Structure 1
């Protein structure tokens, strides 16, 4: 006698295959960026054309309530005990946390984003916003012990590590050639909207 296979299972198998292929396609799509780092190419009303650091052309629509800050360079000696800082770190071969950059928050920004989390500046980088509890000078720069509400971290800051701080800024500084970091949200049509921009002063590239 011929063997009859159940046919009811076929729709479920097909549905499972469609679902699996959809999940696979979604996994292959790169995540939407939360930041755009680059140089302003042109300004047209509330739309910025930006060449990203990776070479992509991006258009950013500025919201009506957009906030701006300027970024200026300061020295390593400007980091004091009690300073509230943010620092991007990468693990060194010796297990130490090496600073890629340090930004010192002004007092009215104390507590901003306190804690430690993965960051998108470099592979395996981490962003930590915390208070400087101890600083030790050494031949290779300074070692900072920074503490936040859920822990602490010892960070090595080399002499050539960029150190910056925030200053007030306005939209007049958004001009061709300016280096920016824009915090963005991708809209349904694929364009990007920004409500917060950090702009480097005097040609400075914001290092964070």
Structure 2
């Protein structure tokens, strides 16, 4: 039952994130300042306040801190990264997927946390430890992407959560859409545990 719940929740998460560049797609990162059974107010890092509708079918992800020790060959990861020399990318945030979520939204595509960032959802085909950093060869289908992990990389992991996690002061990533009237409705809310900021 837990695996089924995880698959359903994760499928909702990555169905919501698969085409973030599409018109009206919303990724809202910030801190919860007010919450009710039907709405949440989030203030982003620029101080902009947004009220978001919470529908009955809302999915909540419980995101906690992890570490590079959890990254191994054959791990399935989601990596938010910035460009690096020689066609590589430098990992800013790494989300370690549970085994039940392997393969969901696999690929390498633009990401919207900061200008020029990308997201790579893929399997670790090779892990190489070097003096100042660790390099990963990430494989998705027949393609690969070289990723550099360094001391600034933040690591997280997730599991299905409940609405009770959405409280004032929580750090969240809201994934949703904007209607013609400008109202924003959440599909998925990733909530950082104990003040942790979701790393993607």
**TM superposition score category, shorter chain reference:** 0.7 to 0.9
Which of 99, 102, 108 lines up with 2:91 in the alignment? 99
**Larger Rg: 1 or 2?**
1
Q: What CA RMSD, in Å, does the superposition of the two structures yield over aligned residues?
A: 1.4
| 1:1-208 alignment runs, 5 A limit | 32-93=24-85, 95-208=87-200
Partner secondary structure for residue 121 of structure 1: coil
TM-score normalized by structure 2?
Answer: 0.85
CA distance, structure 2, for counterparts of residue 93 and residue 145 of structure 1? 15
Deviation at 1:93, TM superposition (A): 4.4
Unaligned runs of 5+ in 1: 1-30
Q: Unpaired runs of 5+ in structure 2?
A: 1-22
Other structure's SS at 1:202 match: helix
In 2, Cα distance between the equivalents of 1:182 and 1:50?
Answer: 9
Query: Normalising by structure 1, what TM-score?
Result: 0.81
Q: Is the 8 A contact 2:87 2:146 kept in 1?
A: no
- Structure 2 distance, partners of 1:101, 1:190, is 30
Structure 1's consecutive aligned runs of 4 or more residues displaced over 3 angstroms after TM superposition are: none
C-alpha distance in 1, partners of 2:108/2:142? 9
**Is the Cα contact below 8 Å between 2:88 and 2:145 reproduced in 1?**
no
